[in-house]
Structure 1
Amino acid sequence: MSTPTVEGLRSELADGILRLTIDRPKRMNAVDLPTMRALGAALDEAGADPRVRTVVLTGEGSAFCTGADIAAAATNPADPSEVMDAANAVIRSIATVPVPVIAAVNGPAAGVGVSMAVAADLTYATESAYFLLSFVNMGLMPDGGASLLVPAAVGRARAAEMALLGERVSAADADRFGLVARTLPDAEFAAHVDAVAARTATTPRRAVALTKRALAAATLGRLDDALAREKSGQTELLASADFAEAAMAMLEKRPPRFS
């Protein structure tokens, strides 16, 4: 069973596996507000659908998700509070949907794309992928739960380096740091994700749901607190002169000049 692309999201359900593909390859799968809302709704529907036993989240083409679409936001500005609510809803859904969520990181993951990847239960990356918390370069702070999710995965020191320096982390380093479950050669990546999805789609749904809940309680118990802090801070920063300058600089392809 499949459904057509809706607001940049492609959905396909077969053999208990729901594949959600962010389908904005011309923007390297950067997400706008409608796409984020569609993704949150699809995850919520997956949790309520007994046919769904596993979710695979990936991106179309050569990128996983490169964060928020700044160009789209500049053209069609939205209330920062609404943007944050939509992003937070996606992260909560990934963490709480009662089936395994596999993040198939087929290319660059940046900004909220990192948050989505790390929020997943099983995260696999191609060797050509990289991870980038680029918020500070835009006059922003990590969101999508990244301020909790990333330290929970790699520790405070590595997380601080990622968040404060805004530099790329290669897939090899992500594997070494514990940011992902495994990094695979590009040629082997799809087959591995398919094999894991097929395996998790045959496990008992209730046992998986309770296991996932227990793991989340042990490691992500303060996720809602982190999301609330990020919403407060990011809402302020999205209205700042520094972010306006960074967005304009990106569109004009020049270095930003922060005040």
Structure 2
Amino acid sequence: MAAYDDFETLAIDRPSDGVLRIQLTGPDLHAVGPKGHAELADVWPVIARDESVRAVLIRGEGERAFSAGGSFDLVEQMAGEYADRTRVLREARDLVRNLIDLPQPLVAAINGPAAGAGLVTAMLADITVVGRKTKIVDGHVRLGVAAGDNAALTWPLFAGMPKAKYHLLLNEPLTGEEAERIGMVSMCVDDDQVQDKAMAIAERLAAGSVPSIQYTKHAINNWYRQNWSIFDASLGYEFYGFGGPDVAEGVSSLREKRDPNFPDGR
């Protein structure tokens, strides 16, 4: 485990032979702060080089949440300072690329609310297990920026263009059941069964043929690679928005738990 000791915001262990488990941790439903965002991007190349890992499981610590997305501290840094915005943009790009290039199969146990950077890991996992009452939401437009992260790359591919636009443009949440119905996740189970089901899948993958599973994953992920320019554009528009006027109102409205009143910033 020495290679993983430096990741302070991630709880990493080996619950089963060949399975590495990552637990998203932290306050406010595991919101991702500045250090957590960097570590979430950097951990995947370390795993990729670890040949003792044959499958990876990611979940939220405890039973309450997967990840509530970026913390207010992270968002305010990005909105306030060009250098911070540039750094986080690079991390966001690395996070998506590193997940796509991870050779080992990744299973996501979505055990509660999922949004933002945490949701990226779930949407780019190879197999996703979600609880029926779980809420999935891409909150970018609610914050006042374009839907970047992974949304433009994955949501139309999973759910089709009409559903993707409906949920992304209106900031409309998905329950676990609806996410399964429209093709956003692999399977939906009762909330108290999410962890056991995800672990069983990870163990089954770890017991399989390593080269055949990894090469199959690599080939399928070329769907993402051939559409990289779509992701790159969406990420650029997202971070352009962090320098605009709508983010301040988006953050204020979230803090005050009210609807935003965005200025006419065309």
- 1:145, 1:223 within 8 Å by CA — same for their partners in 2? no
TM-superposed deviation, 1:100: 0.2
Gaps of 5+ in 1: none
Q: Alignment partner of 2:228: what SS?
A: helix
Q: Alignment partner of 2:30: what SS?
A: coil
Distance of 1:60 and 1:4 partners within structure 2: 17
Pick from 63, 69, 72: which aligns with 2:71?
69
Q: Alignment partner of 2:229: what SS?
A: helix
TM-superposed deviation, 1:74: 2.7
2:10 matched residue in structure 1: 9
1:235 partner amino acid: F
- 2:29, 2:65 within 8 Å by CA — same for their partners in 1? yes
Distance of 1:133 and 1:86 partners within structure 2: 18
2:108 matched residue in structure 1: 103
Q: Alignment partner of 2:108: what SS?
A: strand
Q: What CA deviation, in whole Å up to 9, does each residue of 1:136-191 have, x standing for no partner? A: 11111112221011111110010000111101111100010010000011222221
Give the number of equivalent residue pairs: 257
1:185 matched residue in structure 2: 190
What value does the CA root-mean-square deviation take over the aligned residues?
1.9
2:140 partner amino acid: F
Distance of 1:147 and 1:227 partners within structure 2: 6
Q: Does 1:147 align with 2:149?
A: no
Distance of 2:255 and 2:98 partners within structure 1: 32
TM-superposed deviation, 1:5: 8.1
Percentage of pairs with the same residue: 27
More displaced 10-residue stretch of structure 1: 57-66 or 150-159: 57-66
Q: Alignment partner of 1:35: what SS?
A: helix
1:199 matched residue in structure 2: 204
Q: Does 1:225 align with 2:229?
A: yes
For normalisation by structure 1, the TM-score amounts to 0.92
Distance of 2:6 and 2:109 partners within structure 1: 19
Q: Does 1:94 align with 2:96?
A: no
1:18 matched residue in structure 2: 20
Q: Does 1:251 align with 2:252?
A: no
Distance of 2:113 and 2:6 partners within structure 1: 22
More displaced 10-residue stretch of structure 1: 244-253 or 185-194: 244-253
Q: Alignment partner of 2:47: what SS?
A: helix
Q: Alignment partner of 2:23: what SS?
A: strand
1:67 partner amino acid: G
TM-superposed deviation, 1:250: 2.1
For normalisation by structure 2, the TM-score amounts to 0.90
